[in-house]
Amino acid sequence: MNNYHSGKWAEFLARMYLRLHGYRIIAKNITVGRGTTAGEIDIIACRHKCLVFAEVKKRRTLDEAAYAITRKQQLRLIKGAEVFAGSHPEYKNYDLRFDAILVRLPFTVKHLPNAWTA
């Protein structure tokens, strides 16, 4: 399996994990804020009036995946979340949360809720 396909598989596993834990997937792999510093958001999900913006990282180990999420990526995700929430008034009363979902193939998924804050 090449890197592209293994990355897509990791994102699929992350979405399934969230669904099995009661989250509703709102969007996947969306680009927000064209022309800004905001970028792609891997997964947007919600549960209990909380909008979750998740970054999925796949590496050989879960530790490597955790360290692969840079502060620059975190800031882009925060900016993207602000753009998304601002353009979707149906979520105006929702809390925003930033999660990391770490994947080690073939089937290991670790969810880190509230991995960083805005």
Residue pLDDT, tens place only, 55-74 = 999 999 999 999 999 999 99
What percent of the chain shows pLDDT beyond 90?
Answer: 75
Give the HSE-up count for residue 110: Cα atoms under 13 Å, Cβ half-sphere: 15
pLDDT of residue 35: 63
Q: Count the residues in the chain.
A: 118
Q: Is the pLDDT of residue 4 over 90?
A: no
Predicted model pTM: 0.91
pLDDT of residue 106: 85
Query: What CATH number should be reported for the domain whose range is 3-116?
Result: 3.40.1350.10
For residues 54 and 100, the answer to whether their CB atoms sit within 8 Å is yes
